[in-house]
């Protein structure tokens, strides 16, 4: 049985369900026409994160077009491990959609806040400060396992690590913008994992 083709179909279905929702929220957040200064991310992140992210996305798209084109980076994985990847993908997609709905017009692709930015502490933000990055990390692992491909894991994992590095700059901007309110929020939440004792105390 050609499992690559079966899992290719699964990934295509998942992409067709999630990508339009992502595009909708991205476009909706840009209706203000506000320009964002991405240079505030710092040169290192600016010149590494997006190229690595594009490489990961291209690998993902190529696999969905024809898995044999990514055979050079395939790995042997038990079928049940690949189905585990599918399950993780469902979790990643759900968390991503929940996060986007919670962010609303606050969504940006950089560390800079919008003029009318508000501090979001509801939805998944009640427990962690960067659920979007959690969703990306889960998606990278899910897609890598489902496709059984080390290139997707390498490039996606590197992009995830760069996002985590960027998170520190993002939090400095949020602290400067929201002051004590953000400081209190940090004290009761974890960056990527819920803080012990802080669960349920968000507003």
Task: Concatenate the DSSP letters of all residues of 47-58 into one string.
Answer: HHHHHHHHHHHH
Identify whether 67 is part of a domain: yes
Q: What is the mean pLDDT of the chain?
A: 93
Identify whether 12 is part of a domain: yes
CATH code, domain with 60: 1.20.120.1630
**The length of the chain, given as a count of residues:** 203
Q: Which of the four pLDDT bands, split at 50, 70 and 90, describes residue 202?
A: very low
Q: How far apart are CA 191 and CA 176, in angstroms?
A: 17
17: domain range? 3-22+38-106+120-188
Q: How far apart are CA 74 and CA 145, in angstroms?
A: 10
Statement: residue 107 has pLDDT above 70:
yes
Overall domain count for the chain? 1
Identify whether 66 is part of a domain: yes
**Residue 33's pLDDT is what?**
80
Identify whether 195 is part of a domain: no
Each residue's pLDDT tens digit, 53-98: 999 999 999 999 999 999 999 999 999 999 999 999 999 999 999 9
Average pLDDT over residues 183-198: 89
Write down the residue that tokens 């991405």 correspond to.
Answer: 38
Q: Which of 49, 54, 63, 52 is nearest to 15 (CA)?
A: 63
**Residue 1's pLDDT is what?**
55
Q: How far apart are CA 101 and CA 78, in angstroms?
A: 35
pTM here is 0.92
Statement: residue 203 has pLDDT above 60:
no
Identify whether 72 is part of a domain: yes
């Amino acid at each position: 049985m050609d499992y690559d083709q079966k899992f290719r179909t699964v990934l295509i279905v998942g992409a067709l369900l999630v990508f339009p929702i992502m595009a909708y929220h991205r476009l909706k957040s840009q209706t203000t026409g506000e320009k964002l200064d991405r240079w505030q991310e710092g040169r290192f992140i600016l010149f590494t994160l997006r190229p690595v992210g594009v490489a990961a996305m291209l690998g993902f798209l190529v696999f969905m077009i024809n898995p044999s084109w990514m055979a050079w980076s395939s790995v042997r994985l038990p079928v049940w491990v690949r189905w585990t990847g599918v399950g993780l993908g469902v979790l990643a997609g759900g968390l991503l959609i929940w996060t986007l709905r919670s962010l609303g017009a606050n969504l940006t692709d950089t560390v800079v806040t919008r003029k009318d930015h508000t501090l979001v502490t509801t939805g998944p933000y009640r427990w962690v400060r960067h659920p979007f990055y959690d969703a990306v990390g889960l998606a990278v692992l899910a897609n890598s396992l489902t496709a059984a491909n080390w290139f997707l894991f390498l490039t996606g994992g590197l992009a995830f690590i760069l996002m985590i590095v960027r998170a520190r700059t993002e939090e400095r901007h949020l602290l400067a913008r929201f002051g004590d309110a953000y400081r209190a929020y940090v004290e009761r939440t974890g960056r990527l994992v819920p803080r012990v004792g802080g669960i349920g105390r968000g507003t």
